[in-house]
């Protein structure tokens, strides 16, 4: 597909906003990825989704519930051990060439939120002081994809069984 979403300048700037407390304490992370491709969305997009979410939350324990549709889309909702709600929707649209069609992440804090379009240079920061667009920063640290394997297995297990699963990323 394209460059890893976790290295997009808008996302790294959003992480700086979180770490700099521009939006207060992080309370929620919501990721939406739709891509052109074949097969199971969790298998194809899951490693990158976990990397992006883990970049925002840091390594935490997560209780999550997942649902997979017959066409391979996966949605999960979880609560991290330090009270951050996480959610993701991953889906594939059949076709070529393999590319992302939509990739957004919203980071919600106690005093505002950041919405990042990971495919375009767009970063909106909304706080009590108002809304503004912010210049992008430099790329941040990378999380090795191999660390996502256990989390992807837990998401798939929850989707298959309908049970809440605890995992760590």
Domain annotation for the chain: domains and CATH numbers: 5-160 (3.30.360.10)
Provide the whole-model pTM. 0.75
Cis link prior to 97 (omega < 30° from 0)? yes
pLDDT given for residue 30 in this prediction: 97
pLDDT given for residue 121 in this prediction: 62
> Which DSSP letter does residue 131 get?
E
pLDDT given for residue 138 in this prediction: 44
Q: Which parts of the chain register pLDDT below 50?
A: 137-143, 145-146
pLDDT given for residue 133 in this prediction: 65
Task: Provide the sign of the torsion angle of the four alpha carbons 164, 107, 40, 3, taken in this order.
Answer: negative
| Neighbour-count burial of 71, counting CB atoms closer than 10 A to its CB (0-12 exposed, 13-18 middle, 19+ buried) | exposed
Q: Are 161 and 76 in contact (CB under 8 A)?
A: no
pLDDT given for residue 123 in this prediction: 63
Report residue 6 as tokens. 């976790």
- The residue among 168, 162, 150, 133 whose CA lies nearest residue 60 is 168
């Amino acid at each position: 597909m394209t460059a890893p979403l976790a290295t997009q300048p808008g996302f790294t700037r959003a992480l700086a906003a979180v770490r700099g407390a521009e939006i207060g304490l992080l309370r929620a992370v919501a990721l939406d990825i739709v891509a052109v491709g074949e097969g199971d969305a969790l298998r194809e997009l899951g490693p990158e989704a976990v990397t992006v979410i883990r970049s925002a939350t840091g390594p935490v324990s997560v209780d999550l519930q997942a649902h997979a549709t017959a066409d391979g889309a996966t949605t999960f909702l979880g609560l991290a051990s330090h009270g951050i709600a996480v959610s993701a929707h991953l889906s594939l649209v059949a076709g070529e060439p393999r590319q992302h069609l939509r990739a957004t992440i919203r980071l919600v804090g106690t005093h505002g939120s950041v919405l990042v379009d990971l495919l375009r240079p767009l970063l909106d920061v909304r706080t009590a002081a108002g809304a503004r667009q912010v210049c992008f920063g430099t790329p941040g640290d990378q999380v090795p994809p191999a660390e996502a394997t256990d989390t992807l297995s837990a998401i798939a297990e929850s989707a298959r069984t309908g049970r809440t699963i605890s995992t760590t990323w």
